[in-house]
Amino acid sequence: MMFSKGITKFIAQGCSDHLDEETNRKVRVINLFALVGVCLTLVLGLRAIVDGNVPLALILLVATALFGASQRIHVKVGGTMGRVLSMNLLLTCLMGLMAVLVVTGGNGNTGPLWIYIVPPVAMFFGGFRRGLQSNFGFILLIALLLFFPDERLLLTSYSVELKTRLIYSFLTVTFLSAFYEYSRQKTFETVQQLSERFEQQARQDPLTRLPNRRGVQQYIDYELTRMARSGRPMTVILADVDRFKAINDTYGHDNGDQILMRIAQTFRARIRRQDIVARWGGEEFLFVLPETPESNAMILANDIREALAQLPVNIDGERIEVTASFGVCEVNADVTLNRALSLADKALYRAKDKGRNRVCAASQLDD
């Protein structure tokens, strides 16, 4: 049980909630591959010592050290650089070890059989394109070692049939590994795009294409943090379309939806780049104006109100007037966001009570 927990903890080294699942997956594979590499080369190295094959033992023990070092690099260095260095060292070490096994023949001339490890590892660490490049570069090296005249680069001898079949079978494994990696990458990209699309849909009002309550909340949280640092207030504006129920009842919900879309376009066109407008619910909209005092927000709200009142809206050849009422409240050290939203809502209904198509500030509620 303790051993299993230790292995699990080792494989999870370098993983973080801040990293995406694909990156954490690579980190776990780096740890696992390094662990397997250390254990395998260490066992084979010790066996080579027992068999009296000192050169092979030395090569395997050096590989053991390099596999171990690759794991420590990504843990200690961290970040993308640490992962890239670790993966490159692992792959270089693996390819170098495989080349040595081909040159020496390994135990009973079975060394070349290990080269089939390379294609899937290269594809995983390098991705489809770089994996292909690494595999083709490696097999060119192996072909050079095997087919060099008079086998002068080899410390052993292989039949021509073994050499050619080794190359052909390696290319086949490379092709299959590349096909799998390409399919995996495409599947991952499709899933990621769908996830991002669903996330966007969850944060966006489908009719007006404005952020919904959930979508605007992330922006508000960011602005509250910035406001806490800068000490500058921000202001919220609640806007409600006047007599919208009557518009729906008279002209139908489809026309009502078209009007809401026109209103959203008008609102978006009149705000500043740093501002945001969201559909707060039904015919109600929320404006968030960062680093803006209430007095300046009142000016902007009146500008938006006038632009909306002048908006040409024609339904079945009939021109109708569309207006909205606005409630404005500043968020500052003394007024929290929830309090400001409540006061803006009260100011909005004060504007409604005073005849609609007007702007009312929370500071005017006691008037």
Domains observed in the chain: 2-200 (no CATH), 213-364 (3.30.70.270)
Closest C-alpha among 71, 84, 91 to residue 28? 71
Contacts of 153 (CB under 8 A, 6+ apart): 103, 144, 145
Q: Residue 24 has what pLDDT?
A: 82
Half-sphere exposure of 188 (CA within 13 A, CB side): 13
Q: Residue 70 has what pLDDT?
A: 87
> Which amino acid is present at 294?
E
| H, E, C per residue of 35-63 | HHHHHHHHHHHHHHHHHCCHHHHHHHHHH
Q: Residue 1 has what pLDDT?
A: 60
Long-range contacts of 114-117, Cβ-Cβ distance < 8 Å, separation of 24 or more: 115/142, 115/166, 115/170, 116/169, 116/170, 116/173
> Which amino acid is present at 64?
T
Residue pair 326/237 in contact (Cβ under 8 Å)? The answer is yes
Paired sense of beta strands 324-331 and 359-361, if any: parallel
- Residue range 5-10: average pLDDT? 80
Q: Residue 7 has what pLDDT?
A: 81
- Report the length, in residues, of the chain: 367
User: What gap in Å lies between CA 102 and CA 155, rounded to an integer?
Assistant: 9
What letters, b where the CB count within 10 A reaches 16 and e where it falls short, cover 103-138?
A: bbbbeeeebbebbbbbbbbbbbbbebeebbebbeeb
| DSSP 3-state percent helix, strand, coil across the chain (nearest 5) | 70, 10, 20
User: What gap in Å lies between CA 104 and CA 119, rounded to an integer?
Assistant: 21
Residue pair 263/207 in contact (Cβ under 8 Å)? The answer is no
DSSP 249-284: HHH-HHHHHHHHHHHHHHHHHHS-TT-EEEEEETTE
User: Residue 148, Cβ neighbours under 10 Å: how many?
Assistant: 11
Q: Residue 265 has what pLDDT?
A: 94
Categorize the per-residue pLDDT at 2 as very low, low, confident or very high, splitting at 50, 70 and 90.
low
Closest C-alpha among 316, 281, 279, 277 to residue 297? 277
Its pTM stands at: 0.59
Residue pair 351/326 in contact (Cβ under 8 Å)? The answer is yes
Residue pair 221/214 in contact (Cβ under 8 Å)? The answer is no
> Which amino acid is present at 3?
F
Residues pairing with 341 in the sheet: none
Q: What is the pLDDT of residues 236-278, one digit of tens each?
A: 999 999 999 999 988 899 999 999 999 999 999 999 999 999 9
Q: Which of 6-20, 173-187, 312-326, 343-357 has the lowest mean pLDDT?
A: 6-20
Q: What is the pLDDT of residues 295-306, one digit of tens each?
A: 999 999 999 999
Angle, nearest 10°, between helix axes 253-270 and 244-251? 140
**Joined tokens for residue 293:** 């005092």
User: What gap in Å lies between CA 13 and CA 327, rounded to an integer?
Assistant: 52
Q: Residue 314 has what pLDDT?
A: 81
CA dist list (Å): 340 to 55, 77, 211, 238, 286 = 77, 46, 20, 10, 12
Q: Residue 300 has what pLDDT?
A: 95
User: What gap in Å lies between CA 311 and CA 326, rounded to an integer?
Assistant: 17
